[in-house]
Structure 1
Amino acid sequence: MKNVHKVGFGGGCHWCTEAVFMSLKGVVKVEQGFIAPKEHLTAFSEAVIVHYDANVIELKDLVAIHLDTHKSTENHSMRNKYRSGVYYFEQGIKPMLDEIMSQVQKEFAAPLITAILPFGTFTSSEERYHNYYFNDTEKPFCKTHITPKIKMLKEKYDKHLSAKLR
């Protein structure tokens, strides 16, 4: 029986974030869309919900990959649209996420700005944008923005890549 959990990630374009997590072993499903945190249910930003098998990939690896694949230390002008966040669904997960963030921070020269937030609500993006990267990897946006992230995954996180990318 699978040990499936879910976590939300936001930081950059959800097309990019979706492709990153769809590339990993142990990720069962990725929902692309917009997440608002519990305290601000109207404050949506681009994000994904990742359903993962904890027997195959650990939460700490998912968080590290997320932080490495978006500008997790930059508070740029588009942060409202692209909030850097990790969204938890169960209250008991927050202390674990705090510890993971503390450990991963050691790998970054600048402070991480990624917030750990309680999940509030989700709105799916339009169906035509789902699986954006893998539907056509030759699109200019894919080649410019997503392919470099996939390349970095191959270099740094190869052991977590699904068979389709090997």
Structure 2
Amino acid sequence: MLISDYKNMENVYKVGFGGGCHWCTEAVFMSLNGVKKVEQGFIAPTKNLIDFSEAVIVHFNPNVITLKDLVAIHLDTHRSTKNHSMRAKYRSAIYYFEQANKVVLQHIMKEIQQDFKSPLVTKILPFGVFKPSEERFQNYYFNDTEKPFCKTHISPKIKMLKEKYAKHLSTIV
């Protein structure tokens, strides 16, 4: 399957991303053109349905932003080459919803690895179960960008997006 084959009748697909705090990950993907919806919460892979970690489900239009661009942005906006003490809570992963997309993601990861000096620790996993975050944590960054956590942890990621991925940014940032 080719990357260009990754589309459907409605031109909206979904992929899961986990890496850092889901407040950060949500804000990053909400900032992008072509992203139709971001669901913030916790994802567990199919092989261990109780092994949840913070993550988001990104619904996107591949005619506006490619899966490869989404993966590159994901890898650039969290510590994708580091195994650290919080990896159980913040698993570095990309979750696919259809088996055929595993091959597409493996191909993309192989291409993008060339842009990193260290090996990526990000896993490609089959989506299993999703639990949404509490309502009060949804849209965390854009509800109040002046919160200390937002200024310290999320705003630098948005700044990096503006510098490296400006062509993909929506008007909300």
Smaller-chain TM-score bracket: over 0.9
User: TM-score normalized by structure 1?
Assistant: 0.98
**Identity among equivalent pairs (%):** 74
Return the match for 2:145 from 130, 134, 137.
137
Distance 1:54 1:161 in 2: 15
In the TM superposition, residue 70 of structure 1 has moved relative to its aligned partner by: 0.1
Distance 2:71 2:87 in 1: 19
In the TM superposition, residue 2 of structure 1 has moved relative to its aligned partner by: 4.1
Cross-structure match for 2:135: 127
Distance 1:68 1:53 in 2: 21
In the TM superposition, residue 83 of structure 1 has moved relative to its aligned partner by: 0.2
In the TM superposition, residue 40 of structure 1 has moved relative to its aligned partner by: 0.6
Gaps spanning 5+ residues in structure 1: where? none
Return the match for 1:32 from 31, 40, 51.
40
Distance 2:119 2:94 in 1: 16
* 2:156 is the alignment partner of 1:148: yes
Alignment of 1:48-87 (within 5 A): 48-87=56-95
Return the match for 2:28 from 20, 25, 50.
20
Cross-structure match for 2:5: none
Moved over 2 A (4+): none
Are the counterparts in 2 of residues 2 and 55 from structure 1 also a CA contact under 8 Å? no
Distance 2:171 2:11 in 1: 20
* 2:92 is the alignment partner of 1:111: no
User: TM-score normalized by structure 2?
Assistant: 0.94
Superposition CA RMSD, Å: 0.7
Aligned residues: 165
In the TM superposition, residue 164 of structure 1 has moved relative to its aligned partner by: 1.9
Which secondary structure state, in structure 1, belongs to the residue aligned with residue 172 of structure 2? helix
In the TM superposition, residue 155 of structure 1 has moved relative to its aligned partner by: 0.3
